[in-house]
Structure 1
Amino acid sequence: MSNTPHTLSEEFPGQMDKIHALKVSDSRFAQLLLDYDVVNDEIHVAETNIEPTSQDHETELRKRRLAIKDQIAEALSQAA
C-alpha cells in the first residue's frame, strides 16, 4: 500500500479557499476536517509501520476516511 498522505489540498485541488471559508463559517464542516486529519494521520502511521496494525483495522480506517471525504465533497458542492 502507498504511504503517501492524502492531504486535503491533494484531494480537493483548487478548493482550499472554499474549504477555509466553510471551515470558519460552519462548525460541523470544521469538525469534518479535523476528523479527516485524525483518520488520515492514523492511516499514515499504520502504512509506515510506526505503529503496526491489522489489515482489517487499516481497511476500516480507509473506509472511514473515504466516508469523511465524501461528506466534505458534499458540503463543498452544496456551498457552490
Structure 2
Amino acid sequence: MTIEKHDLHHEFPEHHDTIHELKMNNAHFARLFDQYHEVDHEVHRIENGSENTSDAYLEDKKKLRLKLKDELYQMIKSQTGS
C-alpha cells in the first residue's frame, strides 16, 4: 500500500514560493504550517503501522490535518489574490 504524501508542497505545488514567503514572514502561518506537518507525520506513522492507535484517534487526526490544510490554503489564497 502506498501512502499518499500530504505535505503542503505536494498538495499545492503551484504555490511553492508563496508558502515559502508566508513561512518566512508570517508567524501565524509558520505556526500552523509546523502543526500541520506534525499531524501529517503522525498520521503517516499510524498508517504505516509504526504507531498503534484507535481508528477514532486516526480519524480525529485526519480531520485536524484537513482543518489545518484548509486554514493554510485560505491564507495562501489571500496572499496570492486568487
What range describes the TM-score normalised by the shorter chain of this pair? over 0.9
- 1:10-49 residue pairs with structure 2 within 5 A? 10-49=10-49
In structure 2, the CA distance between the partners of 1:66 and 1:31, relative to structure 1 (3 Å rule), is same
SS of equivalent residue, structure 1 residue 6: coil
Query: Conserved in 2, the CA contact under 8 Å of 1:2 and 1:47?
Result: no
TM-score (norm 2): 0.91
Q: Distance in 2 between matches of 1:71 and 1:18?
A: 15
Post-superposition Cα deviations, 1:39-68, rounded to whole Å, max 9, x if no partner, equal: 000000000110111100000000000000
Query: Conserved in 2, the CA contact under 8 Å of 1:22 and 1:29?
Result: yes
Residue aligning to 1:67: 67
Query: Conserved in 2, the CA contact under 8 Å of 1:29 and 1:72?
Result: yes
1:3 deviates by 2.4
SS of equivalent residue, structure 2 residue 13: coil
RMSD in angstroms over aligned alpha carbons? 1.3
Task: Give the counterpart letter for 1:70 in structure 2.
Answer: D
Q: Taking every aligned residue pair, what percent have the same amino acid on both sides?
A: 34
Unaligned 5+ residue runs, structure 1? none
Larger fraction in helix: 2
1:2 deviates by 5.7
